[in-house]
Amino acid sequence: MSQQVLSVTQINEYIRGMMDEDALLAGVAVKGEISNYKVYPSGHHYFTIKDEGAALKCVMFRSSAVRLKFRPENGMKIIAMGKISVYPRDGAYQLYCTAMTLDGVGDLYAAFEQLKEKLSRQGLFDPVHKKPLPQYPGTIGIITSSAGAAIHDMLRILRKRYPLTQVRLLPVRVQGAEAPGEIAAAIAYANHFHLADLLIVGRGGGSIEDLWAFNDEQVARAIFDSEIPVISAVGHEPDVTISDFVADLRAATPSNAAELAVPDQDGLRQLLDSVSESMVTALQRQLKASRRQLDILRASPALQSPIVYIGQRKKALELLSSRLGSSGQQVINRHRQRFIAYTAKLEAMSPLKVLTRGYAMAQTSTGEVIRSTSQTQIGDTVNVIVGDGSFETVVSKIKENVQ
């Protein structure tokens, strides 16, 4: 026997490999009715979809299930998207479902997805193209039906929040075959004549068919080409249209668009109050600082009581001058003592002092001290000075010492 024997695991893996290589099975959309729907604590959803003659097991993992836009229930007709593969443990194939939509809108949904994909590729949704909205729009252009509830909702909110703005309504049909052309033309017209600082384009809620004009490529391109910032305001919260992706801002509803378009006057009045408060606080702080400076100056003695201050200064001056006086006396005394000492020294060295010890000094008549016999001749009068006076004498004999 050359027949190859395989384990169950091997055969299941083989089949799984075959199915995973199949291009059709890798991305299918299957329509049918939900039955046996179960949500496990893990967050994964398990269910079966069936038609008259067949059933298909499905699993939707938590990561995909959290993105569901509605709550699936048994009996619902749906289209489930995902890939078909084998669950080897059970030897069963199943649909690994990644998205689910309600059936009946299947064709529109496909068209929507295609256009969304195309415009996204062309960069129409790119955040770099989103224009900032004016903070205080002077004129708001509203492109919607003049008959619907949407315009009234918007005007009511604008009137309440920010009546300083003015509204220009550009009435258009918002559903039916003519709607996309009218909406696109109104956007272009508002731009051409600079009719507004901000545009709101939208309508109230309705069926997906009713909202279809806002999934039109012509409208999407008109919004993209608008120099004036555009808020899209289509239907109710969960409705998302192509216009929402292209617009500079998406509002959940027309009322919400009016709220996003303008500041709220209650908030503005609060802001004005806090501005006033800030100014008062800043001014008070500055006044306080100035007053503190003034207090410091005022506390200075010169300003507080000039007479006392002058008295104080006078006393200080007297103290200083008396200190100066006494120190001056000390200096004089010191000098006097030094003078007495010097005088004593001088006296000790005086030639007159020598004379008191018995020496005498002779002077010529002209007052020269006689040191040599040659300075005198016989008959000259010589003045002799001794310790207590002097006398004159006449030279009668000269003797020179023999050396």
Partner 1 sequence: MNQNNKTFEENMQRLEQIVRAMERGDVALDESLKLFQEGTQLVRSCEKLLDEAQLQVNKIATAADGSPVEEAFSDER
**Residues that bind partner 1 in the complex, under the rule CB under 8 A:** 135-139, 141, 146, 151-152, 155, 158-159, 162-171, 189, 193, 195, 265, 268-269, 272, 275-276, 278-280, 282-283, 285-287, 290
**Could you give the CA distance from residue 383 to residue 391 in angstroms, rounded to a whole number?**
6
Quick check: 15 and 72 in contact, CB under 8 A? no
- Residue with Cβ nearer partner 1 (275 or 303): 275
The least CB distance from residue 281 to partner 1, in Å, is: 8
* Cβ neighbours, 10 Å, residue 168: 14
- Residue with Cβ nearer partner 1 (119 or 154): 154
- Residue with Cβ nearer partner 1 (166 or 321): 166
Choose among 58, 94, 54, 63: nearest CA to 79: 58
Q: Which amino acid is it at 398?
A: I
Choose among 141, 164, 172, 136: nearest CA to 154: 141
The least CB distance from residue 196 to partner 1, in Å, is: 10
- Residue with Cβ nearer partner 1 (17 or 267): 267
The least CB distance from residue 195 to partner 1, in Å, is: 6
- Residue with Cβ nearer partner 1 (282 or 302): 282
The least CB distance from residue 204 to partner 1, in Å, is: 14
Tokens standing for 302? 């010169």
- How many CA within 13 A on the CB side of residue 269? 5
**Could you give the CA distance from residue 393 to residue 379 in angstroms, rounded to a whole number?**
9
- Residue with Cβ nearer partner 1 (195 or 370): 195
**Could you give the CA distance from residue 324 to residue 31 in angstroms, rounded to a whole number?**
119
The least CB distance from residue 273 to partner 1, in Å, is: 8
Tokens standing for 40? 């496990």
- Residue with Cβ nearer partner 1 (80 or 142): 142
- Residue with Cβ nearer partner 1 (57 or 168): 168
DSSP letter (8 states) at residue 128: G
The least CB distance from residue 160 to partner 1, in Å, is: 9
Give the DSSP H or E segment for 251. Answer: strand 249-251
* Cβ neighbours, 10 Å, residue 113: 11
The least CB distance from residue 29 to partner 1, in Å, is: 44
User: How many residues are listed for the chain in this entry?
Assistant: 403
**Could you give the CA distance from residue 155 to residue 265 in angstroms, rounded to a whole number?**
15
Look-up of token digits 């001014």: 283
The least CB distance from residue 267 to partner 1, in Å, is: 11
Q: Which amino acid is it at 230?
A: V
The least CB distance from residue 269 to partner 1, in Å, is: 7
List, in order, residues 6 or more apart from 248 with CB less than 8 Å away.
130, 131, 132, 133, 229, 230, 231
- Residue with Cβ nearer partner 1 (9 or 290): 290
